[in-house]
Structures are given as structure tokens and as C-alpha cells.
Homo-oligomer: A and B are copies of this chain.
Amino acid sequence: MKDYTTMSPREARALIREGSYTRQTSGMCGGYAQANLAVLPAEYAYDFLLFTQRNPKSCPVLEVSDKGSRLLKFIAPEADIARDIPQYRIYRKGVLQGEYTDVAEFWQDDFVSFLIGCSFSFESELLASDVPVRHIEEDRNVPMYITSIDCVPAGMFHGKMVVSMRPLPPDQVIRAVNITASMPRVHGAPVHIGDPGGIGIKDINTPDFGDRVTIHPGEVPVFWACGVTPQSVVMSAKPSIAITHAPGHMLITDVKNTVLKF
């Protein structure tokens, strides 16, 4: 069996591009940053870029492509944005049209791609400090929830913040806050600790995206702003078309997580 945790980003992207890996990417290519994707026609790009500037906790932008380009210059210069993510989603007017392992056939000359930092980047830092990451332990996708927290609107874009959740023993919460606070480009410190109802989550065992994970007795749910927020926002704003990654199925970049601290 292949060890995906120690694979290089280039090897992993090659497997993904050829279609032999289509699952979620948490824990893959340990130490390398993964990125959320939101692709929009250029007519929406300014409003969306402004939205990310106004909502840096949920939308920390790692790179924006040039118009029409499927290539990146900085975080993964050899990647093909349209083929190197294990699973994509296409939305038209805010409605999910389907999931694809390759979106090259849908590419438009006016597409602009936004690559947004992902909380998977701080998971290796948490594990290195013996802070447990439950969904990796249980080999599931991270649980994600649409909250009652309003994003700051920009132009046509508005919507609720999406968060990811990791349950922690109480004595590990402070350590987790400190570790993640040092990495603002991958969502930074948590946005909420404890009572799910406080941020509008009705049932912690029914995530809106990803999988349920076990919360052991006495553990505290800790919530981080999540790069799936753009999908929630796209659903609200209803642009003519938008392509995103499927939650948990990220672009693996050539940038080390530790570099994102600076």
C-alpha cells in the first residue's frame, strides 16, 4: 500500500491527475500546504477578491491565477488547476450541478482561480505537538458546519461562515489555539470553542460537509474558520458558474506549511 503521508506533492498530483487517487487529501504529503479552490468568471473576480480581503479568517488567499490560466506561479508552478484536485464541484447559479475528477472540459477563457489556505496545513503542526486530530485518527474527512456567523459582504458576495471542527481534551485546547494562531494564512486561531449552539450549529453529529467524528466524553469541540466558506457564499450569491474543490479534496501545493508562518 502506498504511503501517502510521505509522498511528494508532485507524485501525489500525478496520481490525482491520472485519476488513480480521488479521495480526500487530509494527511497526504505531510508538511506541505493544501489549498481550497474557488474558480469564477472574471466579471465576479473583483467582488470575490474583496470578499476574501474582508474575511481573512475564512478566506486567506494563497494565490490568485491570471485570467484564463490553469497554471499557478507561486504555490504549485507545475500543477494544472483543472486536473490536479481529486474531486471538483460545479455550481451554476448557486446550484450544485455535479462532482468531477477533472474539469478541463468546462474551462473558460475568463476563469480566475482563487487558492485559499486550508486547515489541513496546521494539522501536521498539531500532531507534531501531540494534539490529537480525530478525523485523521478515524480516517475520515474533517466535519464542517455552516454557522450563524455572517461573513462581511463584498459586492454580490455574502453568506455564512463555514467552520471545521476538531474535538480536543480540555488540556489541549490552549496549545491548539497557540499553534494555529501562529499560522494566519491557513485560518489561524479558532473562531469558537465549546457550545456548538453558540455559533448556530444545531447538531454536532450532523455536519453539513465532511464526516461525523467521535467526540469522547469530556472533550471540547474547537471550531476553525474553513475554506469551504466560499462554497457557502457561492451558493448564496448565485454566479452564473463557479468551480470549487469538493470539501476535503484539496490541491496539494509545493509550499511547506512552516513557510506560511512568515
Which residues on B sit within 8 Å (CB–CB) of A49? 46, 49-50, 53
Is A76 interfacial (CB 8 A cutoff)?
A: no
Give the size range of A's interface with the partner: 10 to 19
Q: Does A251 contact B (CB under 8 A)?
A: no
Within 8 A of B (CB), among A231-255: none
A176-198: which residues lie under 8 A (CB-CB) from chain B? 181, 184, 189
Q: Does A106 contact B (CB under 8 A)?
A: no
Q: Which of A137-159 contact B (CB under 8 A)?
A: 152
Is A45 positioned at the interface, with any CB of B under 8 Å from its CB? yes
**Complex formed: what's the CA distance from A158 to B90 in Å?**
34
Chain B contacts of A50 at CB under 8 A? 49, 64
CB neighbours (8 Å) of A45 from chain B are 46
Q: Which residues of B contact A181 (CB under 8 A)?
A: 262
Task: Say yes or no: is A61 at the interface (Cβ < 8 Å to chain B).
Answer: yes
**Which residue of chain B has the shortest Cβ distance to A155 in the bound complex?**
B66
Q: In the assembly, what is the distance between CA of A50 and CA of B50, in Å?
A: 9
Q: Residue on B with the closest CB to A49? A: B49
Inter-chain CA distance A45–B53, complex, in Å, is 13
Q: B residues within 8 A CB of A46?
A: 45-46, 49
Shortest A103–chain B CB gap in Å is 23
A189 contact set on B, CB distance < 8 A: 262
In angstroms, Cα B262 to Cα A189, docked, is: 9
With a cutoff of 8 Å between Cβ atoms, the chain B residues found around residue A262 in the complex are: 181, 189
Complex CA–CA separation, A153 to B50 (angstroms):
18
Q: Mark A46-70, 1 if CB is under 8 A from B, else 0.
A: 1001101110000001001000000
Chain B nearest Cβ from A248, distance in angstroms: 25
**In the complex, A163→B214 CA distance in Å?**
51
Sample of 16 A–B contacts (CB below 8 Å): A45-B46, A46-B46, A46-B49, A49-B49, A49-B50, A49-B53, A50-B64, A52-B53, A53-B53, A53-B61, A53-B64, A54-B64, A74-B152, A181-B262, A184-B184, A189-B262
Extra 4 A-B pairs, beta carbons < 8 Å, given A53-B61, A54-B64, A189-B262: A46-B49, A52-B53, A53-B53, A181-B262
